[in-house]
């Protein structure tokens, strides 16, 4: 039984009373969420700056003397790693997971608050170790974010002396942090929901975060062992991933190891990782669309099963990243089939988002702009995945700019659209003030149109055959001059998009300082976090008494009700019973 009676008496029992316990060594999930968010966005800005430096080189290869192949490959690597792990994973799960799970489930906090606090500080340590890798002899690793051995640990790669070690250690530390946070999220969802909050009444945001966390707990260990094994290869001369080699004229002492073993371990983590980022985005965007279209999410149960199915399938598709890796070619049949099957539940989610708009009452608020923008970017990124997931179609496209275009649309732009939508959506609850609408809209349009201008042409450069991870294309017969022009255009678009993110920072700062005071429930939403007695919610969230849930999270525009939303904690009204019996309502 999810309900814990003692929780009602918890009020004020453990309230922090000093500045340090309130804001620094805080065990309050909301403060930890903000700490996670600030660090993730901060390190994300570093990754954004690195991407601009890369783009300067690709767009204008003869102009910037500070861009050498050495630091180009370092920037490529660190940009990718930060964006995937230290920004997206941390912000969705450590940030929004932390903030939303207890509030949406009607809990006072995470079930293990102390471990939750540790999770953040260990995460911060992993970020510090990562950044430190730029300042050790040889600098950060330039092995590409996939860190494939033997390259990553051999001399031909920048940062092969210390950068790679720090990168691997940082990942291991991150995984420790994630595990502490992740166990917390899963246990909280399973154990600390308030009375009446059945699993099949939970908002999809919580479902997405919950399943993503389970994926993380199962997938990250593969990366963890791979990182440890590679550290051993690098430092004490084991040969897990290292056959007998000749490196820059010298034979190595290694023998018998398998480079492909690392790739299997990496992608056994790496593919679920895509969904660790995507599933929270799927969940959150479902709630944004439903709230701002004033309409229940279409096919709620199907949405949950789609999330669960995608999560399960994500563990049997990893080798679609390895079609041309030299693994047993017969694997191609299996992994192409599983990969294309995963398109079916994913497509169902897209249909249901669009069908949520259909016959809705769409309010084009700031969060809604981002959410509908996401539908467009995700359709694009998802469809190009059908090219790369299908083993034969992947042959000409693998390792080209098509891949860059695809994964940036599907797991860069799309989740980021949701992140910004989510930030603008929950900003009033988190800070007690509304975010500025005008700045937010400028931010949206520059980001939405700018990113498409960046990534659409990349697909075609990829079809043309331009390989990824090239510092310079030099004179290549099949690449026309005009392709360089495209790259210049892409770089300019990237600068525009980066500028838009500065507008976002200005907006946050300005709105914190001068934003309009927010109502407790400005979007007139049904979910529990909007029903707290205080805004922002105080420690313990609910005052003396925990909420009690009577209905699902999507009672918008219920026929016969004068309001167009009924919060989850409102009891069933007389007359609603008949609706339910007629099968109109979910419960």
Partner 1 sequence: MALAVAIVLLVIGSLVFHFLSPWYFTPIASNWSTIDFTVDVTFWVTGIVFVGINLFSAWAIVKYRHRKGHKAHYEPENKKLEIWLTVVTSVGVAAMLAPGLVVWGDFINVPENALRFEALGKQWHWSYRLPGDDGEFGATEVRHMSVDNPFGMDPEDPAGQDDILIADPVMHLPLGQPVHALLRSTDVLHNFTVPQFRVKMDLVPGMVTYQWFTPERTGTYEILCEELCGIGHFAMRGKVIVDEVGDWEEWLAQQPTFAETQARPVGDAAAGAANYAVCTACHGAQGEGLLALNAPKIAGQEDWYMRRQIANYLNGVRGSDPRDIFALQMAPMAIVLTNPTVRENVIAYIQTLPDEPPEQTIFGDVERGAELYTTCAFCHGAEAEGIWSTNAPRLAGMSDWYLARQLENFQQGIRGGHEADVYGDQMYMMANILKDEDAINDIIAYINTL
Q: Is 390 in the site for partner 1 (CB under 8 A)?
A: yes
Instruction: Give how far the C-alpha of residue 70 lies from the chain's centroid of Cα atoms, to the nearest Å.
Output: 29
Q: Is 467 in the site for partner 1 (CB under 8 A)?
A: yes
Q: Is 474 in the site for partner 1 (CB under 8 A)?
A: yes
Q: Which residues are bridge partners to 251 per DSSP? A: 246
How many angstroms separate the most distant Cα atoms in the chain? 84
State residue 433 phi and psi, 5-degree precision.
-130, 155
Q: Is 134 in the site for partner 1 (CB under 8 A)?
A: no
Closest CA to 130 of 71, 228, 46, 66: 46
Helix (H) or strand (E) holding 403: helix 401-408
Where residue 432 falls (left for φ over 0; alpha for ψ -120 to 50; beta otherwise) is left
Q: Which of 4, 132, 316, 386 binds partner 1 (CB under 8 A)?
A: 386
State residue 414 phi and psi, 5-degree precision.
-60, -55
Q: How far apart are alpha carbons 63 and 458 in whole angstroms?
A: 22
Q: Is 251 in the site for partner 1 (CB under 8 A)?
A: yes
Per-residue b or e along 162-186, where b marks 16 or more CB atoms closer than 10 Å to that residue's CB: bbbbbbbbbbbbbbbbbbbbbbbbb
Q: Which of 13, 482, 513, 575 binds partner 1 (CB under 8 A)?
A: 482
CB of 378 to partner 1, least distance (A): 10
Q: Which of 140, 223, 309, 461 binds partner 1 (CB under 8 A)?
A: 461
* Binders of partner 1 in range 407-426 (CB under 8 A): none
CB of 280 to partner 1, least distance (A): 22
CB of 501 to partner 1, least distance (A): 20
Cβ-based nearer residue to partner 1, 227 or 486: 486
- The stretch near partner 1 (CB under 8 A) out of 5-13, 311-319, 420-428, 460-468 is 460-468
Q: How far apart are alpha carbons 406 and 386 in whole angstroms?
A: 10
- 511 CB-near residues (< 8 Å, 6+ apart): 427, 431, 433, 434, 435, 436
Closest CA to 15 of 118, 141, 108, 133: 108
CB of 332 to partner 1, least distance (A): 5
Q: Which residues are bridge partners to 433 per DSSP? A: 517
Cβ-based nearer residue to partner 1, 18 or 392: 392
Residue 202, Cβ density class (10 Å: 0-12 exposed, 13-18 middle, ≥19 buried): buried
Q: Is 471 in the site for partner 1 (CB under 8 A)?
A: yes
Q: Is 148 in the site for partner 1 (CB under 8 A)?
A: yes
Cβ-based nearer residue to partner 1, 3 or 351: 351
- The stretch near partner 1 (CB under 8 A) out of 267-275, 278-286, 300-308, 537-545 is 300-308
Q: Is 295 in the site for partner 1 (CB under 8 A)?
A: yes
Q: How far apart are alpha carbons 511 and 516 in whole angstroms?
A: 7
- The stretch near partner 1 (CB under 8 A) out of 102-110, 156-164, 184-192, 420-428 is 156-164
CB of 317 to partner 1, least distance (A): 13
Q: Is 439 in the site for partner 1 (CB under 8 A)?
A: no
Q: Is 22 in the site for partner 1 (CB under 8 A)?
A: no
Q: Is 247 in the site for partner 1 (CB under 8 A)?
A: yes
Cβ-based nearer residue to partner 1, 179 or 356: 356
Q: Which of 151, 188, 314, 521 binds partner 1 (CB under 8 A)?
A: 151
Q: Which of 1, 6, 236, 477 binds partner 1 (CB under 8 A)?
A: 477
* Binders of partner 1 in range 179-238 (CB under 8 A): none
Q: Is 372 in the site for partner 1 (CB under 8 A)?
A: yes
Q: Which of 554, 567, 569, 576 binds partner 1 (CB under 8 A)?
A: 554
Q: Give the per-residue contact string, 52-91, with partner 1 (x = CB under 8 A; - = no).
A: ---------xxxxx--xxx--x------------------
Q: How far apart are alpha carbons 126 and 557 in whole angstroms?
A: 46
The helix-helix angle for 481-514 and 437-464 (nearest 10°) equals 160
- The residue behind tokens 């990829």 is 462
Q: Is 325 in the site for partner 1 (CB under 8 A)?
A: yes
Q: Which of 564, 573, 577, 578 binds partner 1 (CB under 8 A)?
A: 564
- The stretch near partner 1 (CB under 8 A) out of 129-137, 217-225, 249-257, 488-496 is 249-257
* Binders of partner 1 in range 88-107 (CB under 8 A): none
- The stretch near partner 1 (CB under 8 A) out of 118-126, 310-318, 397-405, 568-576 is 397-405
CB of 415 to partner 1, least distance (A): 19
Cβ-based nearer residue to partner 1, 373 or 440: 373
Q: Which residues are bridge partners to 517 per DSSP? A: 433
Q: Which of 333, 506, 509, 571 binds partner 1 (CB under 8 A)?
A: 333
Q: Where are the alpha helices (DSSP H) in 106-155?
A: 113-132
Q: Is 575 in the site for partner 1 (CB under 8 A)?
A: no
Q: Which of 156, 533, 544, 571 binds partner 1 (CB under 8 A)?
A: 156
Distance set, CA 344 to CA 204, 287, 317 (Å): 19, 21, 14
Q: Is 351 in the site for partner 1 (CB under 8 A)?
A: yes
Dump strand ranges (E) for 181-330: 246-247, 250-251
Q: Is 363 in the site for partner 1 (CB under 8 A)?
A: yes
Tokens of 120: 């953040």
Q: How far apart are alpha carbons 72 and 136 in whole angstroms?
A: 17
The DSSP letter of residue 251 is: E
Residue 146, Cβ density class (10 Å: 0-12 exposed, 13-18 middle, ≥19 buried): middle
Q: Is 541 in the site for partner 1 (CB under 8 A)?
A: no
- 409 CB-near residues (< 8 Å, 6+ apart): 377, 378, 380, 381, 384, 451, 455
Cβ-based nearer residue to partner 1, 299 or 536: 299
State residue 467 phi and psi, 5-degree precision.
-75, 155
């Amino acid at each position: 039984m999810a309900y814990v009676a003692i929780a009602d008496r918890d009020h004020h029992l453990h309230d922090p009373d000093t500045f340090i316990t309130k804001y620094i060594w805080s065990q309050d999930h909301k403060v930890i969420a903000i700490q996670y968010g600030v660090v993730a966005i901060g390190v994300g800005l570093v990754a954004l700056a690195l991407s601009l430096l890369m783009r300067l080189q690709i767009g204008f290869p003869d102009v910037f003397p500070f861009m050498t192949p050495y630091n180009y490959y370092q920037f490529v690597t660190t940009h990718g790693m930060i964006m995937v792990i230290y920004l997206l994973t941390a912000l969705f799960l450590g940030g929004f997971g932390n903030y939303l799970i207890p509030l949406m489930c009607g809990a006072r906090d995470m079930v293990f608050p102390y471990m939750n606090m540790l999770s953040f500080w260990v995460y911060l340590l992993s970020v510090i170790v990562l950044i430190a890798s730029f300042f050790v002899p040889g600098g950060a690793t330039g092995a590409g974010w996939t860190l494939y051995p033997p390259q990553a640990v051999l001399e031909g790669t920048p940062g092969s002396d210390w950068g790679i070690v720090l990168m691997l250690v940082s990942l291991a530390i991150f995984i420790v942090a994630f595990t502490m946070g992740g166990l917390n999220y899963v246990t909280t969802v399973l154990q600390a929901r308030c009375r009446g909050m059945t699993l099949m009444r939970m908002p999809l945001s919580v479902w997405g975060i919950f399943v993503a966390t389970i994926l993380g707990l199962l997938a990250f260990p593969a990366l963890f062992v791979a990182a440890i094994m590679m550290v051993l290869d690098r430092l004490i001369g084991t040969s897990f991933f290292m056959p007998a080699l000749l490196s820059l004229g010298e034979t190595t002492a290694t023998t018998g190891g398998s480079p492909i073993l690392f790739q299997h371990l990496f992608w056994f983590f790496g593919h679920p990782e895509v969904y660790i980022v995507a599933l929270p985005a799927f969940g959150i965007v479902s709630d944004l669309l439903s709230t701002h279209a004033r309409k229940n999410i279409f096919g709620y149960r199907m949405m949950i099963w789609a999330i669960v199915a995608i999560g399960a399938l994500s563990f049997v598709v990893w080798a679609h990243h390895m079609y041309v890796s030299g693994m047993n070619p017969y694997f191609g049949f299996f992994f192409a089939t599983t990969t294309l099957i995963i398109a079916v539940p994913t497509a169902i989610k897209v249909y249901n988002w669009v069908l949520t708009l259909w016959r809705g009452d769409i309010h084009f608020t700031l969060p809604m702009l981002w959410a509908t923008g996401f539908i467009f970017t995700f359709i694009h990124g998802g469809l190009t995945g059908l090219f790369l997931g299908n083993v034969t179609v992947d042959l000409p496209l693998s390792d080209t700019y098509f891949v860059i275009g695809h994964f940036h649309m599907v797991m860069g732009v799309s989740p980021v659209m949701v992140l910004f939508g989510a930030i603008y959506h929950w900003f009033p609850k988190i800070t007690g003030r509304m975010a500025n609408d005008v700045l937010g809209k400028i931010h949206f349009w520059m980001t939405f149109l700018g990113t498409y201008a960046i990534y659409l042409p990349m697909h075609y450069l990829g079809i043309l055959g331009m390989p990824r991870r090239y510092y310079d294309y030099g004179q290549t017969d099949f690449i026309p001059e005009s392709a360089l022009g495209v790259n210049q255009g892409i770089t300019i678009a990237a600068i525009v998009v980066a500028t838009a993110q500065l507008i976002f920072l200005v907006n946050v700062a300005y709105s914190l300082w001068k934003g309009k005071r927010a109502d407790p429930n400005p979007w007139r939403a049904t979910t529990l976090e909007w029903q707290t007695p205080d805004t922002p919610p105080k420690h313990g969230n609910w005052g003396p008494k925990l909420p009690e849930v009577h209905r699902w999270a999507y009672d918008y525009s219920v026929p016969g009700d004068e309001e167009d939303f009924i919060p989850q904690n409102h009891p069933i009204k007389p007359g609603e019973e008949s609706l339910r019996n007629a099968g109109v309502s979910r419960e």
